[in-house]
Amino acid sequence: MKFFITGGAGFIGCNSADYFLQQGHEVVVFDNLSRKGGPANLEWLRARHGERLHFVEGDIRVYEALAGAIGGADVVLHLASQVAVTTSVQNPREDFEINALGTFNVLEAVRHRVPEAAVLYASTNKVYGGMAGARVVLANGRYRYAEYTHGIPETYPLDFHSPYGCSKGTGDQYMLDYARIYGLKTMVFRQSCIYGQRQFGVEDQGWVAHFVIATVKNRPITIYGDGKQVRDLLHVQDLIRAYELGLAQIETRPGEVYNIGGGPQNTLSIWTEFGSLLAALAGQEPLVNRADWRPGDQRVFIADIRKISDQLGWQPTISPSHGIRDLYEWVSRNPQLF
């Protein structure tokens, strides 16, 4: 099959491209190389796959370029995105143009050029907003949901907070509606905290990698709030397996949406647990600064992954302790990248 991956030089994109190239598929990476680490990820892909990798430098905001490059695709992985809440607040127009208009362009390019293609969209748990209705309690040094013991399900009300939530949520809903109205084979993954090798995390996005990189480089980490916030972590290789399983069943499940993350079994408190794990890996305590809570910072987010487990037969397999060690070792081997 021919894969067309928007944002294919990004963290999830390059890992996806690498995996599907290894499976013998043809892969086209479509990327404007604006993200930190993008050029390095592209060179890594070229070193591993040579001329089998097809790269098109382009921007999803430019419909003509996108439509001209997408021809012949059997699968479209739409991963290109503006990914930081803070950036969306600073520049909401750019955020809208990339996430909302860009996703609309992808769907229109598919509808007019490759209407039989499968389309997978990387959405976000931020479409659920502040989740004021999900009561949180503090127990044993970490936050947890009082009622949602399995995590947040797909049926939880959407409530877009921040320009980022609005723009990603717009793309999310367009994906679902294009399946209903035009019969496109779309599938939406509302992704929780994804991490792994080739992630060039910064404070505002990719916090797991950011903490690891800062620890390896002996840079200070700023902890906002009390550090007891909890997230479910999912290794990028487990995410790609979910993409593969989704593609295998998209003919019978077009227009489906799945929450995907580590689930209740793969959670970590942002600092009270992660800090000690990093200290053990580094052999010393990381440098830490403390700051007040940031507006809208969720005390806890855990994805309910029962739907994707039941319908696609997927479960995460890589534990946070194993995956973070792997990421730490990769950063340690490649300090020149950071």
The set of catalytic residues is 164
* Cβ 52 vs Cβ 21: under 8 Å: yes
Pairing assessment for the beta strands 230-235 and 267-269 based on DSSP bridges: antiparallel
Task: Please report, in angstroms and rounded to a whole number, the separation of the first and last CA atoms in the chain.
Answer: 35
83 CB-near residues (< 8 Å, 6+ apart): 164, 205, 206
Task: Give the whole-angstrom CA distance, residue 277 versus residue 280.
Answer: 5
Task: Give the whole-angstrom CA distance, residue 301 versus residue 268.
Answer: 10
Nearest CA to 328 out of 194, 210, 203, 212 is that of 212
Sign of the alpha-carbon dihedral angle for 218, 221, 227, 230: negative
138 CB-near residues (< 8 Å, 6+ apart): 228
List, in sequence order, every beta strand (DSSP E) within the chain: 2-6, 26-31, 53-57, 75-78, 118-124, 136-139, 142-145, 185-191, 193-195, 221-224, 230-235, 256-260, 267-269, 288-291, 300-301
Nearest CA to 30 out of 47, 19, 42 is that of 42
* Cβ 163 vs Cβ 95: under 8 Å: yes
The strand pairing partners of 223, in sequence order, are: 290
Q: Reduced to 3 states, what is the DSSP secondary structure of residue 129?
A: coil
Give, in order, the Cα–Cα distances in Å from 147 to each of 4, 134, 136, 151, 264: 41, 7, 8, 9, 13
Sign of the alpha-carbon dihedral angle for 111, 116, 117, 118: positive
